[in-house]
Amino acid sequence: EIVGEIRDEFDDEEDEITEIEENKFIVSGKTDIDEIEDKLKISIEDPDEDFETIGGFILNQAGTIPEVGYSFEQYGYKFTVSEVENNRINKVEIEKKIVSEE
């Protein structure tokens, strides 16, 4: 018995990283950390932790399954959980923090 989502090359792929406005992105919780690092030009590494997706990274930061609206700032970006379903982080908003020169 096969359980779970089965995809093939003919399925429409949902974009895992979508820029909704300049310096602001919506990403799937299952997006690979390497893809996030490449797109945002940052390094998300923690040698003491084991996570491969942005959802895992946020779960690691929160220490528990976060609710919608949970956010934190790191690496010059604000990470905000925008959708949670069945204890899984589905969508994350990532916004570059612009430092104003005063």
pTM for the whole structure: 0.80
CATH 3.30.465.10, domain 17-96, yes or no: yes
Pick from 97, 95, 91: which is nearest to 16 by CA? 91
**Residue 101: per-residue pLDDT:** 63
- Tens digit of pLDDT at every position of the chain (102 positions): 555 445 444 444 456 899 999 999 999 999 999 999 999 999 887 767 788 999 999 999 999 999 999 999 999 999 999 999 999 999 999 999 987 665
**Residue 10: per-residue pLDDT:** 44
93, with CB counted inside 10 A (0-12, 13-18, 19+), is middle
Each domain of the chain, given as residue ranges in start order, spans 17-96
